[in-house]
Every structure is written in C-alpha cells, then in structure tokens.
A and B are shown apart, each in its own frame.
Chain A
Amino acid sequence: MPSLGADMEFGKLLEWHVKPGDLVKRGDIVAIVDTSKAEIEVEIFEDGVIDELVVSEGTRVPVGALLATLRPAAGEAPGTLEPTVAAPESPAAPRALPAPEPAASVSEAAVAPLPRTPPPAPLAAPAHQDRPRVSPVARRVAESLGVDLGAVTGSGPAGAITKADVELAAGAAVAASAAVPSEGKAPVEPAAPAASVAAADRQAAMRQAIGALMARSKREIPHYYLETQIDMSSALAWLREENDRRAVTARLLPSVLLLSAVARAAAETPAFNGFWVEDAFRPAGAVHLGVAISLRGGGLIAPALLDADRKTLDDLMLGLRDLVGRARSGRLRSSEMSDPTITVTNLGEQGVDLVHGVIYPPQVALVGFGAIRERPWASEGMIGARPVTHATLAADHRASDGHAGGRFLALIDRLLQKPEEL
C-alpha cells in the first residue's frame, strides 16, 4: 500500500485494474485505493508482469503492506520466474528515499516512480471493459446502503452511475421490501439518512487525518513566518490583455501566475523545496507544487502539479483545472498525492487578506496568498491605488533562516513584476 500523502496510515483497496499475467508499464494505473480523503488511482512504479494479487478488493490495509507481486516480463529476464519485486512500497514517500547521494541522483531517485506526464489512459483489462463507471460518492453511498452496483442503471455521462442513481435503486429496493406485508415491524428507514451517515463518516475521517498531520506539523516543525505585500498591477494588466485575446476556454486565472512564480522561485531556492527527513534536509530537485484545494462540503486536499517550474502558464492552467476538477469530483493519481515538494495555499478567494500557513510535513515551506485588493500604495513619492496581495511564507527553521526566506519572497515578488516571462 503506497503512502498517498503524509497523513495516510491506512488504505482500502477498492478495485484492481489488472489481473495475474497482465503486462504492465511504469505509470499504468493498476488499482484504485480509498484513503480517508479521496479515491486515488495507483500507478505502477516499474515495468513487469503481475504475478499475484495479494490483497483482495474491499480490504483495508496499513501503508507499506504488500498489495501484489510483480515479476519481470519474460523477454527481459528469461528464466526468472520467481516473484522478485514487492508491490508499491511507498514509492515516493520521503522515507523510501535512498541515503543522501550527490544531489542530482537523489532528485532522480525521488521522482523516479513518478511519470513526468500524466500517463495515457490505461488499457482496460478485459474483465473490466463492461464495468460501469461509478462516481466516488456513488460508490460510497452504494456501499453504505448495500446496493449492488451491477444492478444499477447509470444516468450520468457515458452511462456513469451517479449518487442519485444509487439512491433511486436503494429507494426502489426499500419500496419493494416495504410493499411486502410486514406486521408490526418498524418502518424501513429511508435511503437518505444512511447516505448522509456515510458522508458524515467520511467527513470525520478526513478531519481526523488533517488534524493528525497538522498536529504533527505544529509539534515537530519550528515554523517561522514572513510576510510581504506584492504590487500586482503589472501582472493583472498583462493578464487582462492576454485574456481579452483568448477564447473563454483558454483564459488564465491570476492564481496561475502566483503558482508559476512560486514554482520558479522554488527551483532557484532549493532550501525551500524538499523534505525534512531523519534530521536532515533533502532538497528535491524537481518542483512538484502542492496546491491546497478545498473540497465542497468541507475538507482539504493538496495534490501536486508535477514539474510546475518547467510548465508554461497554459500548461499550468490546464493542469490546475484538471487537478481541481478531479480533486472535487473524480480521482487523483498516486504520483500527485505522493508528497509535493512545497505547497501553495490561496485563501484570497474567500476574501481573506493574510494566511499564516501550517507546513505539510515532511515539506519545509508553505507559501500563502491573500485576496488581491486595491490598496493605497506609495511609490516614487506618490500615493496611488494598486491591486495588492499579501504573500506569506511559513518555513521550517531547521532547514532555513529568515534571511533566506526573505530573499525567497522577494524573488517571488520580482517574478510577478514580469508576468510575460512566467
């Protein structure tokens, strides 16, 4: 069971997408795992042939447990029939990093299990081709209501089964059983309360996971906080002009400029991009930018935009839209959940001016942005009104000092003054 985020202790294997004998390539999605936060597509970390599925569907196991065994493909290693490789054992979790080596190879090792680009849609195993598509919430509701998904007709896109379909099916079943004369029995409970109980359980589990991780952060990480105000007039003027030229589907959000600036600054300032593991700081090399995404109905998840420092604004925008959409209604991939190297939280959307973030361990820094608002701004002896945002840095004092932190924030500011170069 891979570690899909530092706050995960257990995972439930929902579905296998492979069976023994299947040939798999690195990056293929082999299983769906439910953490307390979300359903995650687990990517295989190397090529081979599935030998044995050790954990069956529906089983909850701790992080690190063996899920399946993999053997080399026949052509690659003739004569090797024994299973030689364990299933994903925390492929990208910092604890699985090798001992410190020259920086380049450490970073290579750190990202090795991660595909550079989203993997192509995996070829569905024959056994799964007829499987109906089911939304995550529908699956949970079905489980709590005891509804057989095979018997539900989907009304969503491409015949996908939605929560409403499940509740309808549950309601039909309830109605059917209620129609059977039953003397003196309590009325059958309607479907809705059971469904909301499942949602409440989920909420509670997510709160617990967030709470445990944040408590660990506050207990272990000596945070220091810095704040600076950034004049956003150049960035917004450039953005307005750019968006005027663009079709609605290609427009950029201001937050994409902020993300790009942080990713580029992190690439140039390694002390804020990496992990604190076993009493030492390990710079990450690649910049996998965590983005704090609030979930509808409460909760928080911070998956990564992989290699964000090397992406164009358009690619970042596409990536962000895709990530937000999947975080809220679909599935994230294991490579996105494995710890990002630095995280950004943008609370300005709710009108907050300033956020003092809590670092996601084992990361060492978190950059926060407040609302972009018109404020009085003095420049060259004149006071004018300019759009301004408060940028904050919460950083780990074990890995860096305030002086370096100040330079890091100043670099973010400088990058935002030249949006055309982002």
Chain B
Amino acid sequence: MTEQELRDAMIGALIEVAPEVDPASIDPRAVLTEQLDIDSMDFLNVVVAVHERTGIEIPERDYPKLATLEGAVAYLAAAAQQAGATPA
C-alpha cells in the first residue's frame, strides 16, 4: 500500500468514530485522542478499523506509536513494508 492509501485508511477509521471531524482539519502532529476528543474505546475501534482496512497487525504495545496521524502513517508504512502485508 502507498503512504497515501495508509493515510486514507487511518483518516477513514478516525472519521468512523468521530463523524463530525473534517479530515482536512486534522493536525498531523497533534495527539489524536486530545485533538479529536476520543477515548480508549474509540481508539480501540480506530485500531480495529485500520486493521480491517489494511490487514496490518497492530499489537497493543505499539498503540503509543499511533498517537498522531503522522506517527500512525509512518508506523503503518514500516509495518506494511516489513510484513509485505496486502489489504485484508
């Protein structure tokens, strides 16, 4: 998957839990839980949705790496490259 596809997957997952958010307004470097007011249940749903959209396994210990949009895209790109993951 390209970086743009991974970014789209991440944004799509965020919009699923926070439908009122304008994707263009997301600050890629700000902490997502704070900027979008999402809690741990929302965040878990984001992780599940990203997994479903990309097929990438995200162990719980890596959750902190998904704290910002920029961090999440970088993490997903690295994970996709390493695993050679294909979309689920």
Contacts and interface: CB of A to CB of B under 8 A. Distances in A.
A14 interface: no
Interface stretch (B4-12, B22-30, B37-45): B37-45
A317 B34 CA distance: 23
Nearest to A162: B19
A130 interface: no
Interface stretch (B58-66, B67-75, B78-86): B58-66
A349 B51 CA distance: 23
A255 B44 CA distance: 12
Interface residues of B, number: 17
Given A248-B47, A248-B51, A297-B20, A349 B60 contact: no
Contacts of A349: 39-40
B58 A248 contact: yes
Contacts of B40: 253-255, 349
B73 to A, nearest CB: 18
A248 B57 contact: yes
Contact of B60 (A240, A294, A297): A240
B56 to A, nearest CB: 10
A251 B60 CA distance: 9
B61 A240 contact: yes
A253 B44 contact: yes
A254 B60 CA distance: 12
A389 to B, nearest CB: 13
Given A296-B18, A297-B20, A244 B41 contact: no
Nearest to B49: A248
Interface string A381-404: 000000000000000000000000
A379 interface: no
Contacts of B60: 240, 243-244, 251
Contacts of A296: 18, 20, 37
A297 B36 CA distance: 11
Chain B CB within 10 Å — which of A240, A244, A248 has the most? A248
B54 to A, nearest CB: 11
Contacts of A325: 45
A321 B44 CA distance: 10
Contacts of A320: 41
Contacts of B32: none
B77 interface: no
Contacts of B41: 253, 255, 320-321, 324
A273 B63 CA distance: 36
B27 to A, nearest CB: 19
Nearest to B18: A296
A296 B18 CA distance: 8
A248 B19 CA distance: 22
Interface of A: 240, 243-244, 248-249, 251, 253-255, 294, 296-297, 320-321, 324-325, 329, 349
Interface of B: 18-20, 37, 39-41, 44-45, 47-48, 51, 57-61
Given A240-B61, A253-B44, 15 more contacts: A244-B59, A248-B58, A249-B51, A251-B60, A253-B40, A255-B40, A296-B18, A296-B20, A297-B20, A320-B41, A321-B41, A321-B44, A325-B45, A329-B19, A349-B39
